[in-house]
A and B are shown apart, each in its own frame.
Chain A
Amino acid sequence: MLMSLRANHLCFAYPGEKLILDNLCFELVGGELHFVVGANGSGKSTLLQCLSRLLSPASGSIDSTTRVAYLPQTVSPSQDFSVWQVIELGARLGTDCDIDKLMLQLNIDHLACRRLSQLSGGERQRVLVASVLAEQPEFLLLDEPSSSLDIHHQVELFELLKTFCADGLGIAVVCHDWNIASRYADRISIVHDKKIMQSGKSQDVITASNLQHIFGNTVSVSQLNNFQVVVPAHE
């Protein structure tokens, strides 16, 4: 039986503020690359923080007894850590993580002695992903891991994540790039109006009607090589 990380009827609000998530249900299954998309401020990051137990929901529950690792959108070390140290910090939570093997797998073995501040955006992101992978989680939650990457490094990152999914790791990714989601997602969930508006395969979720409902007439959907492509709408 496949393991899963499940949010049941989740409600969340910061003290004295309106609800951000309202009766939201979500499921991440082992071995899938699950994209969470939606407009700015729709509650995608809040959902990930609830799943990683950084935030406690007002009501509802998170069902999981497995190890969950979380990588926020921005990581701000107060000191300049070396690449090896960053990965070793994650490995402290794992049982028998082979850091050298992991670095080789992510093609960052040549960076081991470099400082985090000396890396390019792509290298830095790979190192941070290595750090959370070193925790040896069953589920990985990534908040906009590709936001500062060029298209080459985005492709590299998601190809890499796919290989880990093939080994049974369940990964949820908050992403604003619908085209990347369309290309790499096993499943896409749209967060809108404090709930999951729709969840499923990309061809079922990335539709003109869904996009119009979220963004109005500003974008349209085309088909390219069997993938949905979201582009700005013509006047």
Chain B
Amino acid sequence: MNKSILLLVLAVLSAAAWWLAPHFGVAEYSAQIHSLRLPRVTLAWFSGGALAVSGLLMQTLLRNDLATPFTLGVASSASFGAFICFAFPVLSTTIWAPQLLGFICAISTLLFIIKLGTTRLGYSGILLVGITINFVFGAALMIVRHLAPPYRMTKLEHWLMGSIETSDFDSSITIGVISLLCLSLIWLKRHDLDQFSFDVAVARARGVNVAKLLTVGLATSGLLCAAVVTQCGPIAFIGLVVPHALRPFIGNSHRHMIPACWLLGSGFLALADTLSRSLLILGRSSDIPVGIITALIGGPAFLFIVLRKSTKYSH
């Protein structure tokens, strides 16, 4: 199928998911329910798109199919910053404190990695530093969890599993504005990303400034990821699965992959969030964290893609 038609289909499906998701599970249409749920679905929609594009960038820039938005440790540092504020309300001087501290931690980690990555390390080196940072912040998170007052634990656990809870559009606007800036920036680099994913030496010979591309790309991916994590907690698998699911149909061109990842990621998270609040477990509404749903769907889906790919190339 023509890629432009595929993109159009994805756009229609994604927009339909955003508009129809608030109605799901409601016997009668109610403008009140719609207006209450729309901010939550909108946040899910923006977050899904941001995570999918962030994952695409990581896989391209680190030249590794297993890279995700969480690979560089930016997500775990953002989680740590936000988690501290949630655990110890004394630090939450404003309502924005968790997001702010999460962002500060994420940006500091990002600057550290970019500084190391563009001066001394290769792609595998960046990956190893990212994994190490992930472990360090994971351990720090455990310490905070251990020290946090027990009455805060339910909310903390819920957030740590990745959950979308909002009753206004403020969070969506934040992620929307950051996404728009990041997407505009990365759209300008789409040709460079194509050359880079083909071959680094060939890309350099064709005039691509690889160090600049790495800096801009890693910063963009990290910002998108940090914006989502500080609002919704770590939501797994979208950044990994969405680019892999699209490549067989869309190809490797970033001109098509960037919008396609955004549209599939946003639609997928909007639907996963709808499922998470609509699922009935033991006869009652569960409202389980959306991170669990994305992992439950994304895990088998990724396995299917990997097995299909390996079967295709073994013949």
Query: Residues of A at under 8 Å CB distance from B?
Result: 52-54, 68-72, 75-82, 85-86, 89-90, 92-93, 117, 131-132, 135
Contacts and interface: CB of A to CB of B under 8 A. Distances in A.
Contact of B201 (A54, A79, A81, A86): A54
Contact of B206 (A76, A78, A86, A135): A135
A85 B202 contact: no
Nearest to B200: A76
A124 B202 CA distance: 15
Given A77-B198, A78-B60, A52 B251 contact: no
B313 A81 contact: no
A78 B195 CA distance: 10
A117 B199 contact: no
A78 B202 contact: no
A118 B207 CA distance: 28
Nearest to B257: A79
B202 A79 contact: no
A69 to B, nearest CB: 7
B247 A89 contact: no
A175 B59 CA distance: 34
A89 B313 CA distance: 24
Contacts of A82: 251
B115 interface: no
Interface in B234-278: 247, 251-253
Nearest to B191: A92
A89 B205 contact: no
Contacts of B252: 79-81, 85
B251 A85 contact: yes
Given A77-B197, A81-B252, A92-B191, A117 B202 contact: no
B194 interface: yes
Given A68-B205, A70-B201, A89-B195, 17 more contacts: A54-B204, A70-B202, A72-B201, A72-B202, A76-B199, A77-B197, A78-B60, A78-B64, A78-B197, A81-B198, A81-B252, A82-B251, A85-B251, A85-B252, A85-B253, A89-B198, A117-B313
A81 B198 CA distance: 8
B63 interface: yes
A69 B205 contact: yes
7 contacts: A69-B205, A72-B199, A78-B198, A79-B252, A85-B253, A90-B206, A135-B206
Contacts, number: 53
- Chain B interface residue number, banded: 20 to 34
A68 B204 CA distance: 12
B194 A89 contact: yes
Contacts of B206: 69, 90, 93, 135
A82 B63 CA distance: 17
A230 to B, nearest CB: 30
B202 to A, nearest CB: 6
Nearest to B64: A78
B240 to A, nearest CB: 15
A86 B198 contact: yes
A53 B201 CA distance: 11
A93 B203 CA distance: 11
Contacts of A79: 197, 247, 252
B21 to A, nearest CB: 32
Interface string B179-206: 0000000000001001101111110111
A67 to B, nearest CB: 10
Contacts of A54: 201, 204-205
Given A89-B198, A117-B313, A78 B205 contact: no
A109 to B, nearest CB: 19
Interface string B54-74: 000001100110000000000
Contacts of A71: 202
- Give the interface centre of A72, A79, A81 by most chain B CB atoms within 10 Å: A79
B313 A75 contact: no
Nearest to A141: B205
A69 B252 CA distance: 22
Contacts of A68: 205
B190 to A, nearest CB: 11
Given A81-B252, A85-B253, A117-B313, A75 B199 contact: yes
A89 B59 CA distance: 19
Nearest to A79: B252
B42 to A, nearest CB: 32
